[in-house]
Structure formats: C-alpha cells, structure tokens
Amino acid sequence: MIDVVVATIVSLMVTGVNDSNGGGGWVEKEAKRGSLNIIKAYDADKSEGEGVVEKAEAARKVKIGIYFATWWFLNVLNAFPFPWLTSTLSLAAGSLIMLVSWATKVAEAPNTDLDFWKSLFPVALAHTIGHVAATVSMSKVAVSFTHIIKSGEPAFSVLVSRFILGETFPMPVYLSLVPIIGGCGLAALTELNFNMTGFMGAMISNLAFVFRNIFSKRGMKGKSVSGMNYYACLSLMSLLILTPFAIAVEGPQLWAVGWQKAITEIGPHFIWWVAAQSIFYHLYNQVSYMSLDEISPLTFSIGNTMKLSSIIIFRTPVQPVNALGAAIAVLGTFLYSQAKQ
C-alpha cells in the first residue's frame, strides 16, 4: 500500500512539473503508467491474500465436519456399553495430547493463574455433565436419535438466556423454536427403540452444554489463553472431576469383563477403535473452541444438519414419521441460525 501512495505522489509531482513547463509529455505518461502498474500489482496481491484466507476458512469448516463425523462413525458404545469409562477415556486422550504438546513445545503452554482455574471450574462441571449425559444417551439409543434430540439445543439456549439471563431476541428467533421443539418431539414419539434414559441423557446434555457455552464466553473474556489451550485446560479439569465418579458408578471390575468381551467379539483392533474415537472427540471440541469467536452461524447450522446424516451413516431403521420429525428439527435449527445473524 505504501508503494501505491509513493507512486501516486511521484505521478502528481511529475504532472505538476510538466504543467509548469507547458504541458505533459513522455515523463508524465511513464510516471502514470508506473503508478497504475503498481496499483494493479497491489490489487492482485490483495485478491490473492483474500483467496488464501477464504481457502483456510473453508478448510477449517471441513476439518470440524470431518472430526465430528468421524467421532460419530467410530462410536463404540454398542460394543462396549460403559459410558462413564468411555467419557473418561475421551477426556484422558485429549489431556494427554495437550500435555505432550506443551512438554515438547509443539504448542505454547498457557499462562494461567488461580483466578483462571476458579472461573474454569463451572465450565468444566457443565462440560463433564453434558459429555457424560450424551455418552449415556448414545449407549441406550441409536446414535442418530441422540443427535436428533441434541439438535434441540438452540431451544434450551434461548430459554435459558431469556428467563435466567434476561436477554431478549427478535421474533424470528422465537418462531424458529417451533419446528425445533415440534420436530424433536415427533422424532421421540415415533422412535422405534425409544428409551427414557437415552432421551433424558440427550436432554440433560443439551441443558448442560448451554450453560457450558455461557460460562465459556464469560470465562474467555479478557483472558490471554487461546481457544485451543482453553479447551485443553477444560479437559484436564473435567477429567479430574469425572474420574472418581466413573470409578464409583461402573468400576474396574465391570470394565475388565466388558473389555475382554469386546475384544473377543470384535478382535484386537477394538483397542484402536476406542483410541481413535477418543482422539477425534478431543479434536472436534478443540477446533470448535478455537473457532468459538470466529465461526459463523451458518457453519454451525451446517454442522447441525449433519445430525440427520447420521441416520444414513449408522443405517438406523426409521419410520417415515420419525424421519420427518428429524428433518423438521434440523430445519428449525437451520432457521434459528439464520434468525440469530
């Protein structure tokens, strides 16, 4: 940009000199041509830079979708129905990845203090509850059904923000909740393998993640910790909260029997299956937190519409009415994201 300004000034100076000598000439034309060439070059560089940014943004969106879809696809809860241990392993995998990254200087370790960890505790508590509740839900019902119910999270977000935080929203936002709630209700009533524990787990997860997002937004304000490190610290604290409860609810004896049974039925590659699911769960959430202040509502709406595709991925048998309810719920989520813009 400085080159453009300099070239323009030179052009004007030369024009002034030529005018004082009785008209323009070769010098003036060459100066103008030079300034125009520099301006064109700057515009080309600017366009190229914008193109790189757009490609990086598109790649980030695709990355989030891949992590989320892979986490669904690698779900092992049907083969190993111990949701408390599965939740713990997911948090442990993410914590280990980040501890190694900090130790090897691959990622810069966060500069935290006691106030940071105090503000992180309610976020970690809500994250732990939401994570376990969703995992319990997926161990009781089809993964697709869990995510259809979880597409109703915007309704919880609006209700909590309205009645607890006192926020108000435009009328289109409230209207978008009608298809969300109606679609989720229709899908639940017509679910072939409906289970109350699975349904309540998804609902509790919705509410917990709404509070987690609210606490996260507040906790990240004024902090120098990046989104990646923020979620890493969140995983560490959630792991400390969850581990004793996982041991108390399920325990090593049940885990050992279930683990051996899963390996016998599936084979040794079951271990890699569990590890991959845990890693991709961390990657999806980590990228989401890195994008928390940047990602657009449209991106989130695209992510939510992927919930319907899980019916195809897992070949879940559904009635036409059930599929209609799922489609209505996801459509409502899309409308909600557009109304919030």
pLDDT (0 to 100) of residue 60 = 64
Measured between alpha carbons, how far is 152 from 206 in angstroms, rounded to an integer?
7
**Statement: residue 264 has pLDDT above 50:** yes
Q: What is the DSSP letter of 74?
A: T
Are the beta carbons of 93 and 284 closer than 8 angstroms?
no
pLDDT (0 to 100) of residue 324 = 84
Per-chain mean pLDDT for the chain: 75
Q: CB within 8 A of 94, min separation 6: which ones?
A: 231, 232, 235, 278, 279, 281, 282, 285, 286
- 102: which 2 tokens? 């900090």
- Enumerate long-range contacts of 96-103, CB under 8 Å, 24 or more apart: 97/279, 97/282, 98/229, 98/232, 98/235, 98/236
Cα torsion 22, 24, 25, 26: sign: positive
pLDDT (0 to 100) of residue 113 = 87
**Statement: residue 208 has pLDDT above 80:** yes
Measured between alpha carbons, how far is 170 from 232 in angstroms, rounded to an integer?
35
pLDDT (0 to 100) of residue 298 = 45
Q: Among 31-40, 162-171, 188-197, 282-291, which is the least confidently predicted range?
A: 31-40
Q: CB within 8 A of 341, min separation 6: which ones?
A: 297, 298
Are the beta carbons of 181 and 152 closer than 8 angstroms?
yes
Cα distances (Å, whole numbers) of residue 262 to 70, 76, 149, 265? 20, 10, 28, 5
Name the residue with higher pLDDT: 196 or 63: 196
Question: Which string of b and e fits 232-248 if b means at least 16 CB within 10 Å?
Answer: bbbbbbbbebbeeebee
Name the residue with higher pLDDT: 281 or 295: 281
**Dihedral Cα 163, 165, 170, 171, nearest 10 deg:** -10
Predicted confidence band of residue 267 (pLDDT cuts 50, 70, 90): confident
Predicted confidence band of residue 283 (pLDDT cuts 50, 70, 90): confident
Measured between alpha carbons, how far is 124 from 91 in angstroms, rounded to an integer?
11
pLDDT (0 to 100) of residue 100 = 94
Predicted confidence band of residue 127 (pLDDT cuts 50, 70, 90): very high
Measured between alpha carbons, how far is 328 from 186 in angstroms, rounded to an integer?
9
Predicted confidence band of residue 92 (pLDDT cuts 50, 70, 90): very high
Amino acid at site 119: S
Q: What is the model's pTM?
A: 0.73
pLDDT (0 to 100) of residue 294 = 55
Q: Among 83-97, 136-150, 228-242, 287-301, which is the least confidently predicted range?
A: 287-301
- 135: which 2 tokens? 């995992």
Are the beta carbons of 81 and 240 closer than 8 angstroms?
no
